[in-house]
């Protein structure tokens, strides 16, 4: 392959931030019309590499060559002009504007100086249909569409801005369900066939194999290697990402079997006909001490709604809930903490971290809320608790006094986990605890769940990664369209659960 | 990307919330040092201290008191526009309690005689103060209820009392501007015990607020609610009660400020007393580095912010800027001060300090 085939060539990239070498001597080559995955744990340097390519950051050393010409990307705008478009993890469009407006904002076709709305809508619709194969009403507000469509709109906008030669997708699938992901992949394949080179950043190994041609692995700011997707096995890849072989996953099933023996007969939590109109149909649920209950289902199937009911975020309008033998009358997070229930919410940014507060404050927040305004934990106690969990959960932070916003996503997730472990809960509800975090941290969290069960605590484990639910749960409840459809216990195979999630039971 | 921040000492200082308010204050005082000879002279009279610096902190005391309460409110992500009006209500209540006879149309001569007696008051001073502060606290409570439980936007909710408050203040005194002759009351704003008495008031209120927020969990909860109220709710914090507390306390502070201001001018001027003081208080908090969006706050920095505002005024007078030009000049200085706060400038300063150490 001759050099000119590369759309992007990055050579010997170095980048240091105060106190940290983010990238050292990294090479990256991107071919025309390929889907190139960049993988690595949190802090491996993926986003820094992308930021350099898109002009957000400037490299300390190394060269960037686009289509054979050495360039200095000065700004994100400059990158767009050069044909590099990016869709970020958090969709940064305006949900209150229509889809068409979002796609064409700033470049609306005009007539006599005023915006020609007819043309805007027609152009946007045509663009979506032609380039992305999706047919929707573009005059509707963007916010009224599911996340997947919003993502498509973001891609459409990225493509529209510059006739993009390079499209960067940063964690595009982290909030999509299976169908939506498939839809996105179709779009990606179509763009690929049109010669667009796509850089795909993700934590989902399955997806890396499903869609990408080439994989570049980064670890601790250094290049581990670039591989043909077909030529490297999963285990090899993971080993390269985390620098050690994952025997932990094997261990896990043993621990699970072991912890299963500790399940006690009496129910710690019992829900009968619990439901809330518009959120979840009435359901029965039983949970024993020492048990991990998995909840499987697609996005929007009612998983989060169940978690919210059990934790008292919402008040149910039917049924009864009994926890530890007492009927629940007061539904509020504070009352739930008092009952020994904890919830790690799905949305880390919105409902989890308090980003200006320090790691220490974030960790003691729920415990202190339970103690009230005046029984303030002394500084010494606060540091003790914080340091204990920083150690226990391997939270990577320079100190307990670091604002939590400076931590990477995985570590923020661990901080929230620490917040709830500090309240010493009897029942821990985890809603998507491993979303957007790296393989190593995922395994740690799963192990933690099982060790909690071993201590006789109960756990509700909600995840869109079925494999993970299977690995950790003693029993699995399946939801479909805001309704509990079935429950599995003992040895179950993935296929059966998938069928009931999809609703195609025989 | 993981960012490890080393604990450089200069870095720590520039990152501190107090750094920029003090820098702003230092700039203004430096200007005085050069432009106004003898600006820093402090003289003693009968054991009490006088001078420009004392004037600055004394004249800043009403805004300081307001800023303490305002800091908590802004830290929860709100704002209280009614503090100026609450000051007027407090002044009217206090004046009325000391001298309710002004409301009568005809007074018997034996009472008329007392009217401008500096030792006469209808109610004892402690009742005057207590009732006034209770009324002011109720005003704050009202704001808090509207914001926390009525879910009305803070600016709108407190706008109600900002407008209505001056009307209420006038209703209380039946539209009359009550002169205050009672000397012990005048001591609140004008008395000196080595330092101006109002400074001690500020110190006491500051100490109470500091203990209340920093020696209990309240301060952390306020910051948590202001940073991310949904996360706080999920963590079991009763964010409504925290907001209620902040507004109520802010009302109390406005009441104390009303006492000081009315004792300073010896009248209950429902129309002018505390006029636009809410804006000074907000500015003081902003100069103190608390974001209008809520979150982290520093009470001390807000008080320094109040000093900065007053230092600007006093300095301008000292160099002979005429009163009518003061507002315009003040605006220019404020722009400079606020510029110090922009992320860009801050980032620039931090970059420089880091480079110097590296």
Q: Does B211 touch chain A (CB under 8 A)?
A: no
Question: What is the per-residue pLDDT across A304-355, written as a single tens digit (0 to 9) for each?
Answer: 899 999 999 999 999 999 998 899 999 999 999 999 999 999 888 888 999 8
pLDDT above 70 (res B301): yes
Question: How confident is the model at residue B5, as a pLDDT?
Answer: 43
* B354 in Cβ contact with A18 (< 8 Å): yes
CB A436 within 8 A of CB A430: no
Interchain pair B2, A396: CB under 8 A = yes
Tell the CATH superfamily of the A247-340+427-506 domain.
P-loop containing nucleotide triphosphate hydrolases (3.40.50.300)
Mean pLDDT is lowest, of A15-29, A68-82, A307-321, A344-358, for A15-29
Which of A293-302, A419-428, A470-479, B240-249 bottoms out in mean pLDDT, i.e. has the lowest?
Answer: A293-302
- The reported pLDDT for the residue numbered A272 is 92
Q: Can you list the alpha helix ranges (DSSP code H) found in chain B?
A: 9-15, 19-35, 52-59, 61-75, 83-98, 109-112, 125-144, 154-172, 183-190, 197-214, 218-227, 229-234, 239-265, 277-287, 299-318, 323-339, 343-357
Chain B segment 61-80 residues within 8 A of A by beta carbon are none
CB-nearest to B230 from A351, A357, A376 is A351
From chain A, the residues in CB contact with B233 under 8 A are 313, 333, 351
Strand order in the sheet with A35-39: A84-87, A166-170, A197-201, A35-39, A214-219, A222-228
The answer to whether residue A169 scores a pLDDT higher than 60 is yes
Domain with CATH 3.40.50.300 in chain A: 3-242, 247-340+427-506
pLDDT at position A441 over 80 = no
Which stretches does DSSP call E strand in A357-444? 427-431
Q: Which of A304, A344, A349, A354 to mutate to test the interface with B (most CBs of B within 10 A)?
A: A354
How far CA A425 is from CA of A184, A370, A443, A455, B119, in Å, comes to 39, 12, 21, 11, 64
Residue of chain A whose Cα is closest to the Cα of B351 = A18
* Cβ(B257)–Cβ(B201) below 8 Å: no
CB contact under 8 A, B236 and A369: yes
CB contact under 8 A, A17 and B233: no
Cα–Cα dist B220/B216, whole Å: 8
CA A235 – CA A220 distance, rounded (Å): 19
Contact B220 A368 (CB under 8 A): yes
Hey, which residues 318-357 in chain B have their CB within 8 Å of chain A? 354
CB A286 within 8 A of CB A267: yes
Model confidence at A129: pLDDT above 90: no
CB contact under 8 A, A365 and B238: no
d(CA B87, CA B85): 5
Please list, in sequence order, all residues whose beta carbon lies within 8 angstroms of the beta carbon of residue B338, skipping any fewer than 6 positions away. Answer: B286, B287
Closest B-chain CA to A406:
B3
Residue of B2, B6, B238 with shortest CB distance to A43: B2
Residues of chain B contacting A398 with CB distance shorter than 8 Å: 4-6
**Residue B96 in contact with partner chain A when CB distance is under 8 A:** no
Check B1 against A419: CB less than 8 A apart.
Answer: no
User: Distance between CA atoms of A293 and A298, rounded to whole angstroms?
Assistant: 16
Q: What is the DSSP letter of A376?
A: P
| Cα–Cα distance measured from residue A445 to residue A449, given in angstroms and rounded to the nearest whole number | 6
Please report residues of B whose CB lies closer than 8 A to that of A48. Answer: 1
Strand ranges (E), A220-346: 222-228, 267-276, 280-288, 292-296, 318-323, 326-327, 341-344
- pLDDT value at residue B81: 96
pLDDT at residue B6, rounded to an integer: 44
Hey, CA dihedral for B239, B245, B248, B249, is it positive or negative? negative
B234–A345 C-beta distance less than 8 A: yes
Number of Cβ pairs < 8 A linking chain A and chain B: 110
* Model confidence, pTM: 0.77
User: In the structure, what pLDDT confidence band is assigned to residue A137 with cuts at 50, 70 and 90?
Assistant: confident
Q: Does residue B288 sit in helix, strand or coil?
A: coil
Is B234 close to A42, i.e. CB distance below 8 A? no
Mark yes or no for CB contact A17/B236 under 8 Å.
no
pLDDT of residue A200 exceeding 70, the answer is: yes
User: Does A355 contact B223 at a Cβ distance shorter than 8 Å?
Assistant: no
The architecture that CATH gives domain A3-242 is 3-Layer(aba) Sandwich (3.40)
**Among B5, B7, B235, whose Cβ lies nearest the Cβ of A365?**
B235
Confidence of residue A38 (pLDDT cuts 50, 70, 90): very high
- CB contact B233 to A (< 8 Å): yes
Q: What is the CB-side half-sphere exposure of residue A248 using CA atoms within 13 A? A: 18
Pair A30, A213: CB distance under 8 Å: no
Q: Mention every residue, 6+ apart, whose C-beta is less than 8 A from residue A446.
A: A252, A434, A468, A471, A472
Q: What is the pLDDT of residue B3?
A: 41
A412 min Cα distance to partner chain B (Å): 11
How distant, in Å, are the alpha carbons of A71, A450, A493, B60, B66 from that of A258? 58, 9, 20, 69, 62
Name the strands in the sheet holding A341-344, side by side, starting at the edge strand that comes first in the sequence: A341-344, A427-431, A458-462, A292-296, A475-480, A483-489
Question: Among residues A246, A280, A285, which one has the least CA distance to residue A267?
Answer: A285
B230: contact with A, CB 8 A cutoff: yes
Please name the member of B1, B223, B232 whose beta carbon is closest to the beta carbon of A48: B1
Concatenated DSSP letters of B19-67: HHHHHHHHHHHHHHHHHSTTTT-EEEETTEEEEHHHHHHHHTHHHHHHH
- Taking CB atoms and an 8 Å limit, are A361 and B220 in contact across chains? yes
Average pLDDT, integer, range B18-34:
88
Q: What is the pLDDT of residues B108-148, one digit of tens each?
A: 777 677 777 787 888 899 999 999 999 999 999 999 999 99
Q: Which residue of B has its CA nearest to A417?
A: B235
Tell me how close the Cα of B87 comes to any Cα of chain A, in angstroms: 29
Query: Residue A437 CA to chain centroid, in angstroms?
Result: 7
Average pLDDT of the segment spanning A253-264: 69
Interface test with B, best of A357, A364, A405 (most B CBs within 10 A): A357
Probe site for chain A from B235, B242, B246 (most A CB atoms < 10 A)? B235
HSE value, Cβ hemisphere, 13 Å, CA-based, for A428: 30
Residue B7: pLDDT band with limits 50, 70, 90: very low
In the prediction, which pLDDT does A183 show? 82
Whether A174 shows a pLDDT value over 80: the answer reads: no
Q: Give CA separation, A410 vs A349, A476, B1, B136, in Å.
A: 12, 25, 11, 48
């Amino acid at each position: 392959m001759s050099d000119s085939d590369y759309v992007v060539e990055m050579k010997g990239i170095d980048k240091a931030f105060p106190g940290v070498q983010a990238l050292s001597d990294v090479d990256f080559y991107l071919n025309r019309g390929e889907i190139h995955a960049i993988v690595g744990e949190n802090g491996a340097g993926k986003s820094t590499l992308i930021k350099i390519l898109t002009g957000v950051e400037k490299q300390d050393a190394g060269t960037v060559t686009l289509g054979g010409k050495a360039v200095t990307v000065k700004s994100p705008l400059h990158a767009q002009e050069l044909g590099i478009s990016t869709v970020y993890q958090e969709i940064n469009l305006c949900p209150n504007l229509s889809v068409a407006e979002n796609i064409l904002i700033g470049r609306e076709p005009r007539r006599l100086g005023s915006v020609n709305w007819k043309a805007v809508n027609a152009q946007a619709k045509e663009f979506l249909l032609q380039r992305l194969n999706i047919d929707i009403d573009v005059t509707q507000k963007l916010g009224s569409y599911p996340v997947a469509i919003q993502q498509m709109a973001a891609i459409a906008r990225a493509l529209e801005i510059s006739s993009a030669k390079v499209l960067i997708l940063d964690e595009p699938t982290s909030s999509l369900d299976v169908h939506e992901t498939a839809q996105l992949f179709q779009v990606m394949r179509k763009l690929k066939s049109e010669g667009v080179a796509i850089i795909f950043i993700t934590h989902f190994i399955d997806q890396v194999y499903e869609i990408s041609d080439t994989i570049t692995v980064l670890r601790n700011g250094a290049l581990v290697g670039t591989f043909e997707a077909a030529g490297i096995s999963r285990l090899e890849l993971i080993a390269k990402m985390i620098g050690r072989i994952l025997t932990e996953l094997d261990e896990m099933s043993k621990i699970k079997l072991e912890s299963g023996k500790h399940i006690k007969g009496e129910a710690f939590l019992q829900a009968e006909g619990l439901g809330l109109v518009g959120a979840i149909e009435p359901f029965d649920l039983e949970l024993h001490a020492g048990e991990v209950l998995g909840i499987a289902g697609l996005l929007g199937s009612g998983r989060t709604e169940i978690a919210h009911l059990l934790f008292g975020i919402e008040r149910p309008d039917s049924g009864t809930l009994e926890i530890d033998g007492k009927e629940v009358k007061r539904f509020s997070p504070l009352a739930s903490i008092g009952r020994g229930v904890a919830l790690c919410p799905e949305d880390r940014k919105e409902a989890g971290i308090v980003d200006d507060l320090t790691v220490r404050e974030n960790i003691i927040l729920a415990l202190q809320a339970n103690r009230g305004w005046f029984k303030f934990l002394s500084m010494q106690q606060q540091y003790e608790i914080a340091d204990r969990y920083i150690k226990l959960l391997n939270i990577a932070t320079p100190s307990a006094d670091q604002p939590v916003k400076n931590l990477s996503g995985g570590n923020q997730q661990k901080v929230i986990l620490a917040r709830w472990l500090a309240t010493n809960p009897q029942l821990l509800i985890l809603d998507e605890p491993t979303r957007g975090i790296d393989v190593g941290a995922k395994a740690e969290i799963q192990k933690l769940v099982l060790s909690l069960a071993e201590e006789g605590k109960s756990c509700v484990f909600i995840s869109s990664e079925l494999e993970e639910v299977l690995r950790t749960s003693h029993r699995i409840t399946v939801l479909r369209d805001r309704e509990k459809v079935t429950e599995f216990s003992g040895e179950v195979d993935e296929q059966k659960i998938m069928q009931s999630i999809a609703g195609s039971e025989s | 990307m993981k960012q490890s921040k080393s604990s450089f000492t200069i870095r720590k200082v520039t990152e501190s919330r107090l750094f920029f308010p003090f820098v702003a204050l230092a700039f203004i005082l430096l200007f005085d040092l050069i432009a106004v000879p003898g600006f820093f002279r402090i003289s003693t009279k009968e054991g009490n201290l006088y001078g420009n610096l004392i004037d600055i902190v004394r004249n800043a005391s009403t805004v300081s008191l307001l800023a303490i309460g305002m800091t908590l409110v802004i830290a929860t992500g709100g704002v209280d526009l009614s503090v100026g009006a609450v000051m007027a209500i407090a002044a009217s209540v206090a004046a009325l309690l000391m001298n309710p006879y002004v409301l009568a149309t005809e007074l018997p001569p034996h009472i008329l005689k007392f009217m401008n007696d500096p030792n006469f008051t209808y109610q004892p001073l402690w009742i005057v103060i207590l009732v006034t502060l209770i009324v002011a606290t109720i005003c704050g409570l009202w704001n808090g209820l509207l914001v926390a439980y009525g879910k009305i936007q803070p600016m709108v909710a407190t706008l109600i009392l900002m407008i209505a408050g001056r009307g209420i203040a006038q209703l209380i005194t039946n539209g009359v501007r009550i002169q205050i002759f009672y000397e012990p009351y005048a001591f609140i704003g004008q008395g000196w015990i080595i330092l101006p008495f109002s400074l001690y008031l500020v110190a006491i209120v500051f100490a109470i607020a500091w203990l209340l927020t920093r020696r209990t969990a309240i301060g952390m909860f306020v910051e948590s609610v202001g940073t991310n109220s949904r996360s706080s709710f999920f963590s079991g914090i009763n964010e409504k009660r925290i907001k209620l507390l902040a507004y109520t306390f802010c009302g109390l502070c406005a009441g104390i400020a009303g006492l000081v201001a009315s004792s300073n001018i010896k009248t209950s001027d429902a129309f002018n007393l505390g006029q636009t003081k809410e804006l000074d208080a907000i500015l003081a908090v902003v100069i103190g580095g608390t974001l209008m969006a809520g979150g982290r706050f520093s009470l001390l920095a807000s008080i320094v912010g109040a000093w900065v505002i007053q230092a600007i005024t006093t300095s301008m007078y000292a160099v002979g800027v005429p009163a009518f030009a003061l507002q315009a000049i003040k605006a220019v200085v404020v722009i400079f001060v606020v510029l110090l706060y922009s992320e860009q400038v801050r980032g620039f300063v931090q970059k420089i300090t880091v480079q110097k150490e590296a």
